[in-house]
Structure 1
Amino acid sequence: MHDRSRETAAGADGRSQGGGTACRHDKLSTRLRAASLSAIADLGFIVLDDDDDGPDADPAMITGYKAARNRPLTSGQKLSNKALAAVRAPVEHGFAHRKNWRVLGKVRTGDPR
């Protein structure tokens, strides 16, 4: 089975677009909306939720705000990013702990993968 979670796409400027390729291919935003669900994601997923119907739309992918070179973040956007980071941090720490234990298991069993 092909693991699409590691695929990246390059934009016109040559920068990677994160995990958006697999999510776009699998129509994650559409599936989340159909199930009346949302997901909190990092800034790599901003490009996936561009089909909303205005500021009051129910987003499928909840992401932070990204500053541009000529458009710094407002204090409200910074506060929103801070609140999202506080929600995401425990989950990211859980992923890190899981990866650490997985590595230790491979060392103990001698699994070369």
Structure 2
Amino acid sequence: MIDKFTGSAIKNFHLIDFRELAIPIPPLKEQKEIVQQVKSLLDISIKVKQQHQYAETYLDKLNQSILAKAFRGELVPQDPDDEPASVLLERIRAEREKLNNGKQKSQRTSKRKSKTVEEQGVT
């Protein structure tokens, strides 16, 4: 086979030599079976892709639904003795307001003064 290639730098394989090359081909019945198997696998691949796209869309909707239920307090049974979230939020706001009003804000920003060599005690 190697003796059919000609040329020194770029090897060539001529059509005449190619026609003499024996290429094994399966019987027609086996070829039809191979084609049938490939078509079957392609059909399965298409169905899997469609199911994936549907599941991805459904998952996005599910995430939104779970978040909405969580904000409405519908994910777990609610204790009737618990205060509503609106009351809790109002209490937190009031406490923050009280803390912010109690602090005296400095009008002057402190600037760091660099010391001279003498002030640092370096001799």
Q: What TM-score does the superposition give when structure 2 sets the normalisation length?
A: 0.26
Q: Which has the larger radius of gyration?
A: 2
Structure with bigger RCO (C-alpha 8 Å, 6+ apart): 1
Q: What TM-score does the superposition give when structure 1 sets the normalisation length?
A: 0.28
